[in-house]
Structure 1
Amino acid sequence: MTLFDGITERVIETPRLNVNILERVGDSPQTPADRTVVLIHGNVSSSLFWQELMQDLPSDLRVIAIDLRGYGGTEHAPLDATRGVRDFSDDVFGALQALGIETAHFVGWSMGAGVIMQYALEHPVLSLTLESPISPYGFGGTRRDGSRLTDDDAGTGGGAANPDFVQRLIDHDVSDDAPTSPRSVFRSGYVAPGFQTENEDVWVESMLTTSTATGNYPGDSVTSANWPGFGAGDIGVLNTMTPGHFDVSGIADLAEKPPILWVHGTLDAIVSDASFYDLNNLGKLGIVPGWPGDEIAPPQPMVTQMRDVLERYSTGGGQVTELSLDGVGHTPHLERPAEFRHGLLTVIGYVGPAAHPAPPTEAVIIRSAD
């Protein structure tokens, strides 16, 4: 069974599409906004990844995990990537309106962090927890200041997906017999080396809910005269995060600045200043041939870009806390649940009977800017 004890799912009908959500048994629809937490998953995953955290959060909170379109039990409607991640954020807004939730605390993981940053540009939020967030300037193809390397975003978008990985999603492959199987990708990309979990089968099943229909994962591409020979397309998941379509750096200039928690691991293979999913970095390492050099195709400094934008947010009066977890990969909420839980409860200002003491301080590095 993929649903854990105390977790239920249901489909919400909205004017946009049918949205699947996970909830906890006993959570009250009358819970006030300041005790409501909305969880948004990342790429090639679903709300199933949040279940351990949902079980562990205090019972007097209302916790909702939403499947984005093309994932989990939500409709597999195509994505207009020219809108960036706005199709995703508009879907989330529609689902919350159907539930009667005007605002809440938002937690976004990886691509989901990009979705909630976009959401915050358009709707009021009480706090943002950004877990292993995509850069505010998209995935790949930018310099530190967010400027694009090429006009066609060469090396980014749908063409960057590994075709064998896509085929294994289609085949519902649960094996670990190749580096491109979803299970192997989970072990090498989602978590730090050596991490063990008794729920790996559930996480793999979650990955396998990813729709590969036209307009979903990974998306289309176009031929490019720039290395490595392809550019971003206009439909599908990976194209929503290309720099020509995606830029949420404007959060630094929000007039009303909710508190932000930024959680990331030092061994994140996906979101990094030297990401193993960045074609320019793979070219620099000699894995992808023909790399034209740092002047033309430098690796994207994803973590540095996030820090720069959050420093601007802080300078403008926002409260930012950085939680950097040594030895952790792309999924801090799975790998270091106690630290993640404590950070989340702190940023939402939770005070209650289930507010546990902080974990040992040597396990985390926290920087806070006022």
Structure 2
Amino acid sequence: MTLFDGIVARMVKTPRLAVNILERSGDDPATPEERTVVFVHGNVSSSLFWQEIMEDLPGDLRAIAVDLRGFGDSETAPVDATRGLRDFADDLRATLTALHLNSVHLVGWSMGGGVVMQYALEHPVRSLTLQAPVSPYGFGGTRRDGSRLTSDDAGTGAGGANADFVARLAAGDTSADAATSPRSVLRSSYVSPEYATAQEDVWVASMLSTKTGEDNYPGDSVTSTSWPGFAPGGRGVLNTMAPKYFNVSSIVDIVVKPPILWVHGTADAIVSDASSFDLNQLGKMGIIPGWPGDDVAPPQPMVSQTRDVLEAYRAAGGGVIELQIEGAGHAPHLERPGVFRRALLQAIGYIKPANEAAPPTEAIILKSED
């Protein structure tokens, strides 16, 4: 009941693990790579979230969505957080290799945006579409220039996960009885308050496919002498984005620069300059006691960091388009599917860009209220 009409699932065997992918039943496996689009989901989700946009793409494109390890129906394998997001990026490479694909268009959402940026550091890519991506400097614990606040990244990683949310994930809770239930978190954090859909049960099922534990979500943590008293361990999903393990700002320096589309909403509760998932922001708001102040523990300016790195990417010769969608939350492809689809088709060169006169290295900011 979670697969939409025309969407099929199959398991791809790789030397690393068995990976579940979604495809459209009518797509031609012989479709050229320049017309192949691969979607990578974010944290606490799966490929199921991509089905609507996959259905809406033109029929002469090939659309593939991948389940990362420990999510969806892919094999559950430990996540080595000390490698940042490389376990996921390496799994993606193994999957594409098994599908006889080398250079395709990659679309990454949230954590998946970090995965595809990590992938692009080591492998050829035709284009990158980053939807509400994790900052190139990781999640939490950095100043605007990417410098780390503490030597152990206090306040980032698995220790910041809500224990009741994790327990409800593990129990398969489909209710909206508590603010920490997956359905309630979907409504409050993944999308804007105005979003409504008949597919909510599918999105919740996708969230509940997350494998929990210290090797997967959220991971392990260690104590810290710095506020708020914990730091990331070396295992599990949330620790992969701790700044000591994850930093893809060197994407600026890759020689062959794929064009980048950056899509984000102004009402994003997760990735923003005042994220409600950033422990320092919660301390500043008085939700977590003992916050030592902006000089010691400032909130991470996530969107500003991404803009800075992509501006440097543009200055180094790469093409960048920023699409800022007014009022959209963390999932613009769900909330503004027409706007997202049009921008994606432009990014992959399927239709002409909105501003044909702009040189490929010009920074174009499109603000949409559609």
- TM-score, L = length of structure 2: 0.95
2:149 pairs with 1:113: no
Q: In structure 2, give the amino acid aligned to 1:251.
A: I
| Contact 2:84 2:245 survives alignment (8 Å) | yes
For the residue of structure 1 that corresponds to 2:121, the secondary structure is: helix
| Contact 2:347 2:353 survives alignment (8 Å) | no
Structure-2 separation of matches of 1:356 and 1:256: 21
Deviations 1:106-136 (A, max 9, x none): 0000000000000000000000000000000
Q: In structure 1, give the amino acid aligned to 2:295.
A: E
Please state how far the C-alpha of 1:26 moved relative to its aligned partner: 1.3
Structure-1 separation of matches of 2:252 and 2:225: 35
Structure-1 separation of matches of 2:213 and 2:222: 18
| Contact 1:12 1:98 survives alignment (8 Å) | yes
Equivalent position of 1:205 in the other structure: 205
Structure-2 separation of matches of 1:129 and 1:248: 15
2:139 pairs with 1:139: yes
Structure-2 separation of matches of 1:332 and 1:223: 37
Question: How many residues matched?
Answer: 359
Please state how far the C-alpha of 1:196 moved relative to its aligned partner: 0.5
For the residue of structure 2 that corresponds to 1:321, the secondary structure is: strand
Trace 1:222-301 onto structure 2 (pairs within 5 A): 222-301=222-301
Structure-2 separation of matches of 1:102 and 1:130: 19
Change (3 A) 1:274 1:356: closer
Equivalent position of 2:304 in the other structure: 304
Equivalent position of 1:177 in the other structure: 177
Q: In structure 1, give the amino acid aligned to 2:158.
A: G
Structure-1 separation of matches of 2:89 and 2:163: 28
Please state how far the C-alpha of 1:75 moved relative to its aligned partner: 0.7
Structure-2 separation of matches of 1:221 and 1:93: 29
For the residue of structure 1 that corresponds to 2:217, the secondary structure is: coil
Equivalent position of 1:15 in the other structure: 15
| Stretches of 4+ aligned residues off by more than 2 angstroms | 355-358
Equivalent position of 1:362 in the other structure: none
| Contact 1:324 1:366 survives alignment (8 Å) | no
Q: In structure 1, give the amino acid aligned to 2:257.
A: K
Equivalent position of 1:151 in the other structure: 151
| Contact 2:107 2:129 survives alignment (8 Å) | yes
Deviations 1:58-91 (A, max 9, x none): 0100100000000000011000000000000000
Equivalent position of 2:62 in the other structure: 62
For the residue of structure 2 that corresponds to 1:42, the secondary structure is: coil
Q: In structure 2, give the amino acid aligned to 1:88.
A: F
| Contact 1:217 1:237 survives alignment (8 Å) | yes
Structure-2 separation of matches of 1:338 and 1:235: 38
Equivalent position of 2:34 in the other structure: 34
Equivalent position of 1:192 in the other structure: 192
| Contact 2:24 2:63 survives alignment (8 Å) | yes
Name which of 356, 360, 365 aligns with 1:367.
365
Structure-2 separation of matches of 1:83 and 1:366: 33
Please state how far the C-alpha of 1:356 moved relative to its aligned partner: 12
Please state how far the C-alpha of 1:214 moved relative to its aligned partner: 3.2
Please state how far the C-alpha of 1:103 moved relative to its aligned partner: 1.0
For the residue of structure 2 that corresponds to 1:122, the secondary structure is: coil
Deviations 1:302-324 (A, max 9, x none): 00000000000000111100000
Structure-2 separation of matches of 1:214 and 1:267: 31
Equivalent position of 1:43 in the other structure: 43
For the residue of structure 1 that corresponds to 2:322, the secondary structure is: strand
Gaps of 5+ in 1: 359-364
| Contact 1:342 1:356 survives alignment (8 Å) | no
Equivalent position of 1:52 in the other structure: 52
Please state how far the C-alpha of 1:29 moved relative to its aligned partner: 1.1
Q: In structure 2, give the amino acid aligned to 1:327.
A: G
Please state how far the C-alpha of 1:194 moved relative to its aligned partner: 2.2
Q: In structure 1, give the amino acid aligned to 2:334.
A: L
Structure-2 separation of matches of 1:54 and 1:150: 42
Structure-2 separation of matches of 1:98 and 1:194: 41
Q: In structure 1, give the amino acid aligned to 2:313.
A: Y
Deviations 1:330-360 (A, max 9, x none): 0000000000000000010004xxx9999xx
For the residue of structure 2 that corresponds to 1:9, the secondary structure is: strand
Root mean square deviation, CA, Å: 1.4
For the residue of structure 2 that corresponds to 1:323, the secondary structure is: strand
Structure-2 separation of matches of 1:166 and 1:290: 25
Q: In structure 2, give the amino acid aligned to 1:104.
A: V
Percent identity among equivalent residues?
67
| Contact 1:70 1:210 survives alignment (8 Å) | yes
Deviations 1:133-158 (A, max 9, x none): 00000000000000100011000001
Please state how far the C-alpha of 1:213 moved relative to its aligned partner: 3.2
For the residue of structure 2 that corresponds to 1:118, the secondary structure is: helix
